[in-house]
């Protein structure tokens, strides 16, 4: 049971972590798809 719960927590940590890492590494859809003339933030 402990192994199962630890795994479920690990899934959450990996998901949040990968989202942070990919966004910071410039893999957001905005950075990948939009050119310099596009201002999605503003």
Partner 1 sequence: MQIRIFALIVAICMSLFPVTSVAQTADAPDVSREATGGAQTLEDILARQRGEVVDNGFRSSDIGNPDSAAAMSDQLGTLGGASDPELWRALRFGTADIRASNNGPAATVLVQDGGMKWLLFREGPLTTYGGYLLIGTLVVLALFFLVRGRIRIDGEKTGRTVERFKAVERFGHWLLAGSFILLGVTGLVSLFGRKVMIPLFGHESFAVLAGASKWIHNNVSWAFMIALVMIFVMWVIHNLPDRTDISWILKGGGIFTKDHPPAKKFNAGQKLIFWSVIVLGASISVSGLALLFPFEINLFAATFEKLNSLGISSLLGLGELPTALAPHEEMQYSQLWHAIVSFVLMAIILAHIYIGSVGMEGAYDAMGSGQVEEQWAREHHALWVDEVKAKESATIKGATPAE
Residues of the shown chain interacting with partner 1 in the complex, contacts defined by CB under 8 A:
1-4, 6-8, 10-11, 14-16, 18-19, 27, 32-38
The answer to whether the CB of 34 falls within 8 A of the CB of 28 is no
7 or 42: CB nearest partner 1: 7
Contact 6, 16 (CB under 8 A): no
**Residue 41: CB minimum distance to partner 1, A:** 15
Residues 7 and 1: their CA atoms lie apart, in Å, by: 10
The residue among 36 and 42 lying less far from partner 1, judged by its C-beta, is 36
């Amino acid at each position: 049971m402990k192994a199962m719960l630890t795994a479920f927590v690990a899934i959450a940590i990996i998901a949040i972590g990968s989202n942070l890492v990919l966004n910071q590494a410039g893999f957001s859809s905005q950075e990948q798809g939009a050119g310099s003339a596009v201002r999605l933030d503003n």
